[in-house]
Amino acid sequence: MTTRLQGIGVCAGIAFGKVHIVDRRRLTAPHYHVAPELRAKEVERFERAVFASEEQLKEFRARALEAGMPQVELLLGAHGMILRDHAFYDACKDRILKEGQNAEWALKDTTRGLKAAFDRLEQDYFRERRSDVDIVGDRVLRNLVGVETELLDHLSEDAVVVAYDLSPADMVSLAKYSARGFVTESGGRTSHTAILARALGVPSVVSATRIMQLAGSGDEIILDGGTGELLLRPSASMASRYRGRARRLRLEQKALLADRLLPAETSDGVRIELLGNIEVSGEVESVLLYGGQGIGLYRTEFLPIESPGVAGAEAHHAAYQRVVDAVGDRPLTIRTLDLGADKNLPFASPTGDLVPSWTPERGHPSNPALGLRAIRLSLRDEPLFREQLEGILLASATKRVRLLLPFVTAVEELRRSREIIAELSRKLESEGRPHDPNLPVGVMIETPAAAWIADLLAKEADFFAIGTNDLVQYVLATDRGNEEVAYLYRPCHPALLRILDSVCRAAAVHGRPVSICGEMAGDPFHSPLLVGLGLRSLSMTARAIPLVKRMIRKLSLAECQDFAKTALGLATAGEVEQALAESLRRWAPDLFGAD
């Protein structure tokens, strides 16, 4: 009997194969009291297990580098740091020495306490970090009781790995003995499994509830990493339907990639710059592979994913330098931290606080989207902002880098940022450290206030980047993550069109370049509208680039401009969408023809 499950697709592609269960169930640990005179020996036993774990992680790090997976190597490094972290290492030793717990028991109690602290946090990113503690604890436990962690070295060619969770070490093995797909019960979009699966390009589904209960080793399985669908023991007709779908996907992908070096140019010769949005340095490669001409938005708030505990200007510089090196002489725009609201990742401030400043103890703001977010937080927590700005300045020494400020609502925010940048530039100058003293500073236009004062901002900012993800949510008063009001989240709403039009005009009056980097830029359905309204630079997720390029090559500027004029006169989002759909059926029948 076929079983159909729905998880979250985190890396597109269809995989067919046989289930290979990776059982990472916890070992049972013996619990006993240790007499005071034997406690020092017990601590030594614990230390030996930590040392052995460190050695194993070192080996995995070397394998990760060999396999060309720097992100995995960094994650394994983070696990090494947990091993020696005060909250882990010293806490275990204290439990042995002061409470007389045996090493396994001390280890279990310590990891349980740390995991519970993570569980109390609301954001997915933090909750998913509990699995790091789990993975590290499991490794030490296995070294204590002398049980090897199963290495995924013996996968059959058609293996689809099914697990409760997969550690970065597992993923290193899998990179060598390649699996066709990954399915895990746990994890979300920002889990390690998801991040690494994308980095490896392996079709994957996470959050597949009950898969470990329902799947047996050797079962036939089909997974769709785009839609998150899973079919266990599929019937022959289902399998053939999916094979057809997989074939079409492969052909489409091939055709799109074949065009990747063609210019993104309209039929009447207008060049449109297509850039990539990235969260971690490793993504630069995919942007270039998919034909991107550079990086239009580097979201630095995801930095702790590849540089856990990043702190200090030098550490920021090192992280940005990785991107600078990968991008070469192509354009690169680095956005300063957009922490707060939906993005809460752990950043250590030089003041000793974790930012954002709300924590479970201090309480959660009732309206985070309108709270202390992005540039507001940076200007409030200036020491951290200074570290980041100095890091970006240092990264500008060898190539032209642009600095982008998120969530600006007032000219003062731009002015204050510029003052700090000028101060830091003088400091670096006096220290003889090379950097670009004229680093271009731009602002995100993603709030109604910024859009309304675009003419004033244009006088003082070097460039604009329009962030429609937030702009739509704030202009239409519609939470971008709330499914119940998703029907109101319409980028084609006349209010948005008017705003895009007036922002482009304000930028043009002052000769400021303007780009767009919200999801709208990566949807070919919107391309004619954006080009017609005057946008010449679009930045998007890597995989969206080929299709948008294909779309652009079918358009003519004159038609797009006519269309934009008509669209600006329409009364509803529905009317604009319908007009777009009709025009696209004519201009790009292969992409938007009738079904």
List the interface residues with ligand PEP, window 128-157 (CB under 6 A): none
Nearest CB to Mg ion, comparing residues 467 and 524: 467
Nearest CB to ligand PEP, comparing residues 42 and 470: 470
Nearest CB to Mg ion, comparing residues 436 and 446: 446
Residue 467 within binding range of ligand PEP, rule CB under 6 A: yes
371 Cβ contact partners less than 8 Å away, ≥ 6 residues apart: 340, 341, 365
The interface region with ligand PEP, picked from 109-117, 141-149, 463-471, 570-578 by CB under 6 A, is: 463-471
The phi and psi torsions of 568 (rounded to 5 degrees) equal: -65, -15
| Binding-residue total with ligand PEP (CB under 6 A) | 10
Q: In this chain, which of 470, 489, 493, 543 binds ligand PEP, going by CB under 6 A?
A: 470
Half-sphere exposure of 202 (CA within 13 A, CB side): 25
| Segment holding 145, helix H or strand E | helix 124-145
Residue 301 within binding range of Mg ion, rule CB under 5 A: no
Dihedral angle at the C-alpha atoms of 338, 200, 332, 190, nearest 10 degrees?
Answer: 0
Provide the angle, in degrees to the nearest 10, between the axes of the packed helices 313-327 and 382-395: 40
- CB of residue 447 to ligand PEP, shortest distance in Å: 10
Residue 378 within binding range of ligand PEP, rule CB under 6 A: no
Site string for Mg ion, 452-481 (x = CB under 5 A): ---------------x--x-----------
Residue 537 within binding range of ligand PEP, rule CB under 6 A: no
- CB of residue 478 to Mg ion, shortest distance in Å: 14
Nearest CB to ligand PEP, comparing residues 469 and 561: 469
Provide the angle, in degrees to the nearest 10, between the axes of the packed helices 192-200 and 70-83: 150
Q: Which two tokens stand for residue 439?
A: 């680093």
Taking a C-beta distance cutoff of 8 angstroms, is the pair 200, 171 a contact? yes
The phi and psi torsions of 183 (rounded to 5 degrees) equal: -135, 130
Q: Which residue has the tokens 């995991």?
A: 115
The phi and psi torsions of 463 (rounded to 5 degrees) equal: -160, 165
Decide which of ligand PEP, Mg ion, none touches 332; Cβ closer than 5 to 8 Å per partner kind.
none
Catalytic residue among 92, 492, 504, 517: 517
The phi and psi torsions of 36 (rounded to 5 degrees) equal: -50, -40
Nearest residue by C-beta to ligand PEP? 467
Q: How far apart are CA 85 and CA 99, in angstroms?
A: 20
Taking a C-beta distance cutoff of 8 angstroms, is the pair 443, 404 a contact? yes
Residue 338 within binding range of ligand PEP, rule CB under 6 A: yes
Residue 517 annotated to the active site: yes
Decide which of Mg ion, ligand PEP, none touches 518; Cβ closer than 5 to 8 Å per partner kind.
ligand PEP
Instruction: List 90's β-bridge partners, or say none.
Output: none
Decide which of ligand PEP, Mg ion, none touches 299; Cβ closer than 5 to 8 Å per partner kind.
ligand PEP
Residue 219 within binding range of ligand PEP, rule CB under 6 A: no
Cis peptide before 30 (omega within 30 of 0): no
Dihedral angle at the C-alpha atoms of 259, 261, 265, 269, nearest 10 degrees?
Answer: -110
Catalytic residue among 192, 316, 493, 526: 192
List the interface residues with ligand PEP, window 290-309 (CB under 6 A): 297, 299
578 Cβ contact partners less than 8 Å away, ≥ 6 residues apart: none
The interface region with ligand PEP, picked from 211-219, 426-434, 464-472, 555-563 by CB under 6 A, is: 464-472
Nearest CB to ligand PEP, comparing residues 375 and 517: 517
Decide which of Mg ion, ligand PEP, none touches 356; Cβ closer than 5 to 8 Å per partner kind.
none
Decide which of Mg ion, ligand PEP, none touches 132; Cβ closer than 5 to 8 Å per partner kind.
none
- CB of residue 306 to ligand PEP, shortest distance in Å: 17
Q: How far apart are CA 326 and CA 341, in angstroms?
A: 30
Residue 19 neighbours by CB distance under 10 Å = 20
Q: What is the DSSP letter of 542?
A: G
Nearest CB to Mg ion, comparing residues 519 and 559: 519
Residue 398 neighbours by CB distance under 10 Å = 14
Residue 517 within binding range of ligand PEP, rule CB under 6 A: yes
List the interface residues with Mg ion, window 362-401 (CB under 5 A): none
Nearest CB to ligand PEP, comparing residues 281 and 468: 468
Residue 446 within binding range of Mg ion, rule CB under 5 A: yes
Q: Which residue has the tokens 């998150």?
A: 228
**Residue 418 burial (C-beta neighbours within 10 Å; 0-12, 13-18, 19+):** middle
- CB of residue 51 to Mg ion, shortest distance in Å: 45
Residues that bind ligand PEP (CB under 6 A): 297, 299, 338, 446, 467-470, 517-518
Residues that bind Mg ion (CB under 5 A): 446, 467, 470
- Known catalytic residues are 192, 517
